[in-house]
Structure formats: structure tokens, C-alpha cells
Amino acid sequence: MTAPAPGPVIDARGLVKCYGRRTAVDGLELRVAAGEVFGFLGPNGAGKSTTVRMLLGLTRPSGGDGEVLGRALGDPEARRRVGYLPENVHFPGWFTGMGFLRYHGALYGLPASEVRARAGEALERLGLAGRGDDPLRGYSHGMLQRLGLAQALLARPRLIFLDEPTSALDPRGRRDVRLLLDELRAQGTTVFLNSHLLSEVERTCDRVAIVADGHVRYLGPTRPDTGAERLLDLRLEDAPPDAERLLVGVARLVRRAGVRWRLELEGADAAPEVARRLVAAGARLHELTPVRRDLEDLFLELTGAPAAEPEPAEPLPDAGEAQLLEPGVPS
């Protein structure tokens, strides 16, 4: 992956959002550089959706401030240069695919001839060539998600927010999205990707933020192994009841599922000592495999929650706040 260009496209400083007595986002700090694909992760209720709405200018912060594309949050000029694909797409069924894109192109103020050309290119790029004249009521959920991606790209924005862009896609569709993200990175477009699919995030993103309880708990590369953590996977039978105590000083139990154990070693040369102690205590050791600490390990460590859960609905925006009636529509 190419190194992101210098200069923040997103700069959030101490963002806070409260809904009554509940604090959804609490002092969130975040900087995203130009040209990088940035993953935004967290369990349900972590404040991800609220943060995205503040960055898009759909919800006013209760505290803190920030800029998107060098302008204050919610600035109309910045929003004209931002694309957005929400997680749950609800497009009017009477639109055709081409009509839907032309409608959004007009909202962006693009000339009609340019919209037609761009819309045709976008439909072909997202695998919808030949379906542009079909009503959306006949589109599958995966096709609607592809159309939403086409809409987010239509104005050739400098920054794109994608919320679960591959959730309804088959493996071929997910591969196509990965290739698209590579193209956008090469073009210098910044992508802010919210996803529960950690394997996809590891394959596509340059950096990630992991959010829990409204705070950023981790901000860094998608492969967080620093060399200090040393993990060991075991397949172990007949382990004595005091096996954990036997490993004190050489390893710590991270998790256990039946005969499968994961240990964190105290030192680089601790694996042979782990095997010696367990076998001496009567355990049958079938497998011993060194592993790297991956994004899922870090996610579970920081949040204590599985990643692949549906995101619950966030509270409605406060009365009078800016709202987006259709994804990608500039104010």
C-alpha cells in the first residue's frame, strides 16, 4: 500500500455528543491523512455512527470541534466534495438506475451531459451495465449497494464515507470493492470505511481506529503487531486443572475454547518451556503454533466484544440539526 499524502483531510479535536444523559461520543480525537483508506471500527454503541454524522455535518457536536477538507464541520462547500454511502440504503423504487444517478448529479450541480457520461461509467464500473433503465424496485439488495457506491463516486469527491459497503455483496462483489478502493487510493481520494468485516479492513485499509465507549482506543496500522507481543496457539488434551498456574512466569492464557488454547508468551524463547511444563504435568500436546497478533485480537482486547454484530439505530438527530434526505446530497 502506498503511503498516504501529508495533511489532514479529517481533523477531529475532542468531539463530544450527548443525547440527554447519555454520552455517545466523549472527547474523540482523530486525524485522517489525504489519500489513505482509513478503517473505523468498534462494537455496537461505541459511537461510530454518531461520529460519522458529526463529521458529515448531519449532527452538531455537544463539544469539541474539527475540520473536514480544511473547513468547519457541516460547511456546505466541504459537503459538496464528499461522497457518502450509508449502511442501510433506501432508494425510491420508481427510479431507474440511470434516473437515480442523474437526479443526484443535478443536485451536485453537474452539467446534464457530464452526468450522463459519468453515470454510464459508474454503472459499468460497479457491474450494473445494462441495468440502468430498470426500476430500482427490481434491484436486489446487492445491486442497490452497488448503485449506492456509484452515487457516492458520481461527483468524483475528494473524501468518501462508506458504511458497510460490502455487507450485501458476494465474494466477487467484495473483490470488486477492494479493487475500487485500490483505484481510489491511487487517485489520491480519501476513503473513510466503517465495517464489521475485520478481514476486509485488514486487506484494504492503511490505518484503523478502534472506538469503544466514545473514545479512540487504538489508532495505527491495520497490522498492530509490534514485536513485543508473542502469541502461541496450542491444541492440548488432558491438561491438568492447574495448567494456568504452571505457566506463570512464561506465558499468560489469552483465551481457551475446548482443546484450543491461545497463550501470550513472556519472552521470545518461552515456547519450549511452555511445552516442557505442560508435557511434564501430563498434558498431551498435539499442536504448538506461533501466531502474529492480528486486528481481531486487538479488537477483542480493547472492546471485549465480537466485531460481527449488526449496528443498532442511533438516537434521532436533535431538532433543528442538518439532515440528509438522500445519501450524497449536498446542502
Task: Spell out the SS3 assignment of 220-254.
Answer: EECCCCCCCCCEEEEEEECCCCCHHHHCCCCEEEE
Q: Are residues 164 and 42 in the same domain?
A: yes
Q: Are residues 20 and 156 in the same domain?
A: yes
pLDDT digits (tens, 9 = 90+) for 196-232: 888 888 889 999 999 998 889 999 988 765 554 578 8
Residue 299 domain-assigned (yes or no): no
- The pLDDT value recorded for residue 252 is 87
Residue 312 domain-assigned (yes or no): no
- Per DSSP bridges, beta strands 260-265 and 231-237 are antiparallel
Cα torsion angle, 57, 58, 59, 60, sign: positive
> Measuring CA to CA, how many Å separate 201 from each of 25, 122, 125, 207, 296?
23, 23, 22, 9, 10
Rounded distance, CA 314 to CA 234, Å? 41
Residue 255 domain-assigned (yes or no): yes
pLDDT digits (tens, 9 = 90+) for 273-329: 989 999 999 999 999 888 777 788 788 888 875 544 333 344 444 433 433 334 444
Q: Are residues 199 and 86 in the same domain?
A: yes
Residue 268 domain-assigned (yes or no): yes
Last residue of a domain, one of 186, 203, 221: 221
- Asked whether the beta carbons of 199 and 49 are under 8 A apart, the reply is no
Q: Are residues 81 and 211 in the same domain?
A: yes
| Helix 141-153 vs helix 97-107: crossing angle, to nearest 10 | 30
User: Hey, what's the cell of 113?
Assistant: 451531459
> Measuring CA to CA, how many Å separate 295 from each of 196, 252, 263?
12, 19, 16
- Asked whether the beta carbons of 31 and 66 are under 8 A apart, the reply is no
Run of H or E including 79: helix 76-79
Q: Which domain covers residue 237, as residue numbers?
A: 231-293
Domain count across the chain: 2
Last residue of a domain, one of 169, 194, 221: 221
Report the SS3 class of residue 9. strand
Q: Are residues 92 and 237 in the same domain?
A: no
Rounded distance, CA 208 to CA 223, Å? 9
pTM for this one? 0.74
Q: Are residues 32 and 95 in the same domain?
A: yes
- Asked whether the beta carbons of 44 and 311 are under 8 A apart, the reply is yes
Q: Are residues 237 and 217 in the same domain?
A: no
Q: Are residues 195 and 77 in the same domain?
A: yes
Report the candidate in 41, 40, 39, 32 with the shortest Cα–Cα distance to residue 12: 32
Residue 1 domain-assigned (yes or no): no
Q: Are residues 74 and 207 in the same domain?
A: yes
Where in the chain does DSSP place strands (E)? 8-19, 22-33, 37-41, 63-68, 71-72, 82-85, 159-163, 190-194, 207-212, 215-221, 231-237, 251-257, 260-265, 284-291
Residue 147 domain-assigned (yes or no): yes
pLDDT digits (tens, 9 = 90+) for 251-263: 988 888 888 988 8
pLDDT digits (tens, 9 = 90+) for 129-187: 889 999 999 998 889 989 999 999 998 999 999 988 877 778 888 888 889 899 999 99
Rounded distance, CA 276 to CA 89, Å? 56
